Structure 1
């Protein structure tokens, strides 16, 4: 059947839908096929879109989520109706909470059938995740639904599920294909300029403060305001920090103190506690950034953002607000601040040396023979892996350790953990590999997370991807066992044993290596480079008694 509706006077609905997705710039489709989406998906790939086919629907949705974050485009995934859709609820919730522009094409039960054995009321499920739901029931409006989905995804930065009943998909449209993509309807606006009165209040607060921390978020990265943040911190004699998604942005600066929040390095944590003013730029001042309000307890706060929310995660976000594009807001404050602002005396050569040299966490734990301290494992990975390779940081107990890499640009660090769900790491790595095919992807994950969707190792092999998968394997769900120990209950239900994940990888046709000594990393990395292509999994057996500062704070 001809997949191009331009060559059909009255195209089939699924053909027109596929063509509209292609006209929206859909270069990659992440999908698991079933009755409700297979005709549409085949038509879309016939039009030149690359298909990446997952082994589980959750994984397909998660792949598209990371693809969107890594490219700045709208990610596109597809699942069938009923059980195909119900499988993506966690991935869809994560995308909604991370404000990822995503469009999922799904089937719906046949509109004109009395019974269908995969029927479920899909709308409340999708809406409950925070995503938007569109039912495509009108043949006359079929391609309008596509435009509406992409406009909402782009403008509101949230996922949209477009669901069309199976029988409607196979009907012919009453008119020839004609489509104007969503880009023609997206307002093209200039940068948002700040109100001068807001700038005056911010400058007054700066003059009244001695120890200032400038915290950059994703808004700084998208606005290209990194240099402005550095100029502001330098003018104030203050420190530079970041949210987790843009960690590494100021690693080159002598007073870049790392991540703001529960993942803060020990030195950074101390300095943030000393601060009397926090200036958040392009950052939402979430529970994570402030470590639940504990990190900046003595500080006033200013938020520079295009959409300051006031209330975030149940807490007042800031004391003062400057509604502006990150770059414009900083420029206005710097111009008003002028050159006369006296330095605070907070900075010193000794402090710069401490920031550069002190470990993230120097807590001493009893050694476990035959196992590697996870902090040493991450330091070794950081040493051998080139700084311009793509890093995927997963969730779970291991995520603190793997976030402590140094000297890597935020553009090469990929993390989405707003919903706190493990099990996404491998799917995110595949999405990043599709987004950046010329890059080598390094996944840092835990064993519990990897095993949730280990079937996608077959997807990696089938699509010929080049990944280095580093699994910090403690043989358990790390967060749970430490909490259970602290609460005096048996951790039996959270312990599964380390097994042999390297053998699992080999079973899927990939290379797999066991690491239980720190001196293995250099040799194995050289072997990986010499192999040239294909994916390799490092099963790193880590000591299970090393806890993170986040966990220690939680359990004491």
Structure 2
């Protein structure tokens, strides 16, 4: 028998029926009706300390599971506080559903609590779409629309707003779940197009992006006799492949390597500024783009062949066609290894003292550790020199580039990965943005190592100013005693003095009864 409930409660029940198990958020008087049905529906709620933290937790949860991260926030400031995480999720193609309350009417009444001029329009600037539901049926339809679009298109955040009066009003049960199929193209035809380009290629290169999930990528590249690059988002995809140049597209001389290719096939990647850090890819041969997003296919790189399709579907078809393909490649594994060694030396020279710490940290981690990093020089270095064993296990705020991402995102990832190792890497300045979320990790008893890299300043900005011949200013802030601060939250804290001590501390942190802040400075690489 159908059960009538307040709409706020019905929404939680609907989400549970659609597979949502965890919601991140903060309750307030405006959205309290959304909390009426959470426990009754059997959903776990994680109470953040700030809506920005809730959004990053939802992002981290989504990246760890592939399922949408869901957040509940209040009217006005709750929505504006979560807009930064929404912008980050939009840049990095993360499925996130933000549901907020909104005022019943704003045109004729002013001075209301949490009032904004245009809440819907504000949210739309940082997400795929932002809509206000004016009936219960519209709310249900928009939730299903978001979930269907996460499955069938490029996953990006959506924002649904429901007025306070509507949340409080009695509503019928939601309609049944809609069966969906992913976006499909003629994958065989797309693969045949690639085969035609590869048939005479002597030096093909694949560039694999975060849109590639299939483990067939190394086999496809090998059968085609192709070298490969990955974007930062696809690190680990080509683990062990001897012709893989790594996540080195940002190295200026990668353009010289790409210029040697007669065919470049970019699959599931925007080839964005934050991938290349230059205007042009550098290729001289044929460029083929495969992407689900038509906007990517029409960008300034001006591909010779554009294929709108799901990357994995096309690669699956291509793998079958390449089974009997005979390739003769000009690429040599020793030359690839030598080039990667040169790039590693460049990175070590650019940011002294960081590479040895990256190596030591990598070597002490349990297999399958998932890492969430922040905008810090440690992470910038690690993304280029740290080879991942598997894809989808290092998450970074690549596009929007916000500070403060790593700690709450890692909390979301740890919630999703109970019993599996999860770690955060964050800089001293970024840590200030979201350090209050340490309380959440303590409450949940998460065995979460948090690597805090303290170089005492906004060093990346300082170096940029120097290169631009600007006298560096406003790049140094007084830091607290981070270990004492962590302990005040109930967090374990340690400041290892040697790389060996660091490794022992990190190993112990994965077995602790709560989070551990591990405080590192650049001096650690030279101490014995």
1:511 aligns with 2:492: yes
Give the alignment partner of residue 420 of structure 1, picking from 385, 401, 404.
401
Judging changes above 3 Å, is the alpha-carbon distance between structure 1 residues 534 and 139 closer, same or farther for their aligned structure 2 residues? closer
Aligned 8 A contact 1:68 1:75 in 2: yes
Equivalent in the alignment of 1:399: 379
**8 Å CA contact retained: 1:474, 1:498:** no
* C-alpha distance in 1 between matches for 2:518 and 2:367: 19
Indicate if the aligned counterparts of 1:304 and 1:324 stay in contact, CA closer than 8 A: yes
CA–CA distance in structure 2, aligned partners of residues 373 and 341 of structure 1 = 45
Give unpaired runs (5+ residues) of structure 2.
none
Aligned to 1:255: 243
Superposition deviation, residue 241 in structure 1 = 2.0
Alignment of 1:62 onto 2:56: yes
Contact kept in structure 2, 1:242 and 1:259, CA below 8 Å: yes
2:323 pairs with 1:343? no
Is the 1:16–1:143 contact (alpha carbons within 8 Å) kept by the matching residues of 2?
no
C-alpha deviation, 1:401, in angstroms? 1.4
Change (3 A) 1:140 1:76: closer
The residue number in structure 2 matching 1:73 is: 67
CA distance in 2, matches of 1:258, 1:51: 39
Q: Give the SS at the match of 1:259.
A: coil
How many residue pairs were aligned? 521
Check conservation: 1:18, 1:43, Cα contact below 8 A: yes
Is 2:407–2:434's contact at 8 Å kept on the other side of the alignment?
yes
Q: CA deviation at 1:268?
A: 6.3
State the SS of the aligned residue for 1:455: helix
| Structure 1 residues 334 and 169, CA gap change in structure 2 (3 angstroms) | closer
Report the CA distance between 1:329 and its aligned residue: 3.2
Of 175, 181, 187, 1:179 maps to 175
Alpha-carbon distance between aligned partners in 2 of 1:48 and 1:334, rounded to the nearest angstrom = 43
Shift of 1:253: 1.6
CA 29–210 in structure 1, closer or farther in 2 if over 3 Å, else same? same
**1:354 aligned residue (338, 351, 354):** 338
Note closer, same or farther for the CA distance 1:206–1:32 as it changes in structure 2 (3 Å cut). same
Q: Give 1:554's aligned residue.
A: none
* Partner Cα distance (2:453, 2:509) in 1: 18
| TM-score, with structure 1 as normaliser | 0.84
| Aligned-pair CA distance for 1:142 | 4.8
Check if 1:127 corresponds to 2:115.
no
TM-score (norm 2): 0.88
Cα distance change, pair 93–461 in 1 and its aligned pair in 2 (3 A): same
CA offsets 1:140-180 (integer angstroms, 9 cap, x no match) = 6454443344334544522222222223322223xx42431
- The alignment's C-alpha RMSD in Å is 3.2
1:410 Cα shift?
A: 1.0
C-alpha displacement of 1:204: 4.7
Shift of 1:49: 0.4
Cα deviations across residues 458-497 of structure 1 (Å, max 9, x unaligned)?
Answer: 1111121111111221122232111112223333312114
Indicate the larger mover: 71-80 or 11-20. Answer: 11-20
User: Quick one: structure 1 residues 407 and 483, their matched pair in 2 at CA, closer, same or farther if it must change by over 3 Å?
Assistant: closer
2:466 match: 485
Shift of 1:231: 3.4
2:513 maps to: 533
Are positions 1:321 and 2:300 aligned together? no
Q: 1:295 to 1:499 in 2, by over 3 A?
A: farther
Instruction: Report Cα offsets for 1:88-109 as digits up to 9, x if no partner.
Output: 1211112222232221111112
* 1:440–1:321 Cα change, 3 Å: same
Equivalent positions of 1:141-540 (< 5 A) are 141-156=138-153, 157-173=155-171, 176-181=172-177, 184-186=178-180, 188-189=181-182, 192-194=185-187, 196=189, 202-207=194-199, 209-221=201-213, 224=214, 226-227=215-216, 229-262=217-250, 271-272=257-258, 274-309=260-295, 311=297, 314-330=299-315, 333=318, 341-348=326-333, 350-351=334-335, 353-354=337-338, 360-362=344-346, 373-403=353-383, 404-497=385-478, 499-528=480-509, 531-540=511-520
**Matches of 1:204 and 1:526, distance apart in 2:** 50
Secondary structure (helix, strand or coil) at the match of 1:213 reads strand
